[in-house]
Chains A and B, each alone.
Chain A
Amino acid sequence: MASDLHQWFRGVLSVYEYGIITYLFVLSTIYFVLLLIGFFEMIRHRFAYRDSDENRVLEASPLVPPVSILAPAYNEAASICESVRAMLSLTYPQFEVIVINDGSKDETLRLLIEEFHLYRSARFYENTLPAKHVRGVYESMDPIPLVVIDKENGGKADALNAGINVARYPLVCAADCDSLLEADALLRVARPFLEDPERVLAVGGIVRVGNGCEISGGRVMKVDLPRSWMGRCQVVEYLRSFLGGRVAFSAFNSLLIISGAFGLFSKRAVLAVGGYRTDTVGEDMELIVRLHRWARTKKMDYRIVFQPDPVCWTEVPESLKILRRQRNRWQRGSFETFWIHRDMILRPKYGNLGMFSIPYFILFETFGPVVELAGYVLTLIGILMGLFDPAVVYLFFLAAVLYGMILSTASVILEELSTRRYPQVRNLLVLIVTSLIENLGFRQVLTFWRAMAFVDLARGKKSWGAMERKGLANQAKEAQQTAR
Chain B
Amino acid sequence: MTRLIYSENWPRIANLLVVVVLIGYILSVVVVAQFLDVLADPFMRYASAFIIVQFAVLGSIGLLLITFKFMRVRWESRRASRIRKLEELVAASDCGDEALKAARKWPEEFLTVVNYTLQSIKGSARERVIRLLEASALYPSLLQQTLSRNPDRAIRAITLLGQLETAQSRAAVNRALEHPAEAIRQAARKVIMQGSDPEAQQRLFETFPQLPAWQRLVLYHFAPPEAALLPQFVTKALRSVNEMRILIALELVLTRQRFLPCALPMSLTRAANPEIRIKFFKALRFLRLESDPAKALQLGLGDSDWRVRAMAAQACGQLRTANLAERLLAMCRKFENPAEAAHAARALAALGGEGWLRLQEVANSETDIARQIATETVERHMLGGAA
Contact = CB atoms under 8 A, between A and B. Distances in A.
Interface in A25-44: 25, 28-29, 32-33, 36-37, 40-41, 43-44
B151 A47 contact: yes
Contacts of A36: 17-18, 21-22
Contacts of B48: 395
A402 B53 CA distance: 12
Interface string B176-195: 00000111000100100000
A47 B5 contact: yes
A402 B55 contact: yes
Interface stretch (B100-108, B212-220, B293-301, B348-356): B212-220
Contact of A47 (B181, B342, B372): B181
A334 B22 CA distance: 30
B305 interface: no
Given A40-B17, A47-B183, A124 B65 contact: no
B65 A417 contact: yes
Interface in A115-153: 119, 121-124, 126, 141, 143
A123 B339 CA distance: 12
Given A61-B217, A424-B73, A43 B65 contact: no
Contact of A50 (B14, B183, B254): B183
Interface stretch (A190-198, A347-355, A475-483): A190-198
B5 A43 contact: yes
Nearest to A402: B51
A391 interface: yes
A21 B51 CA distance: 11
B47 A32 contact: no
B6 interface: yes
Q: Interface range on chain A: under 10, 10 to 19, 20 to 34, or 35 or more?
A: 35 or more
A299 B339 CA distance: 29
Nearest to A49: B183
A428 B64 CA distance: 12
Interface residues of B, number: 60
Interface stretch (B80-88, B164-172, B373-381): B373-381
A61 B17 contact: no
A443 B376 CA distance: 54
A398 B51 CA distance: 8
B44 A416 contact: no
Nearest to B152: A50
B2 interface: yes
Contact of B58 (A47, A57, A122, A409): A409
A432 B66 CA distance: 10
B369 A124 contact: yes
Nearest to B59: A409
A194 B217 contact: yes
A57 B372 contact: no
Given A413-B62, A417-B65, A428-B69, A392 B221 contact: no
A43 B5 CA distance: 8
Contacts of B213: 194-195, 197
Contact of A63 (B25, B58, B255): B255
A47 B2 contact: yes
Contacts of A63: 217, 220, 251, 254-255
Which of B48, B54, B373 has the largest number of chain A CB atoms within 10 A?
A: B54
Contact of B65 (A57, A392, A402, A413): A413
A271 interface: no
* Most chain B CB inside 10 Å of its own CB: which residue of A40, A399, A402: A40
B123 interface: no
A384 interface: no
B51 A53 contact: no
Interface in B5-34: 5-6, 10-11, 14-15, 17-18, 21-22, 25
Interface string B345-363: 0000000000000000000
Contact of A61 (B39, B70, B255, B383): B255
Given A57-B221, A406-B54, A432-B66, A25 B73 contact: no
B376 A122 contact: yes
B208 interface: no
A402 B58 CA distance: 11
Interface string B41-58: 101100110110011001
A21 B17 contact: no
Nearest to A248: B18
Contacts of B58: 406, 409-410, 413
13 contacts: A18-B43, A21-B43, A21-B47, A44-B10, A47-B5, A57-B221, A63-B220, A63-B251, A141-B383, A143-B385, A399-B47, A403-B54, A429-B66
Given A50-B151, A61-B255, A395-B48, 8 more contacts: A21-B43, A36-B22, A47-B183, A195-B214, A406-B58, A417-B65, A425-B70, A428-B66
Interface of A: 18, 21, 25, 28-29, 32-33, 36-37, 40-41, 43-44, 47-50, 53-54, 57-58, 60-64, 119, 121-124, 126, 141, 143, 168, 191, 194-195, 197, 251, 391-392, 395, 398-399, 402-403, 406, 409-410, 412-413, 416-417, 424-425, 428-429, 432
Interface of B: 2, 5-6, 10-11, 14-15, 17-18, 21-22, 25, 39, 41, 43-44, 47-48, 50-51, 54-55, 58, 61-62, 65-66, 69-70, 73, 151, 155, 181-183, 187, 190, 212-214, 217-218, 220-222, 251, 254-255, 257, 338-339, 342, 369, 372-373, 375-376, 379, 383, 385
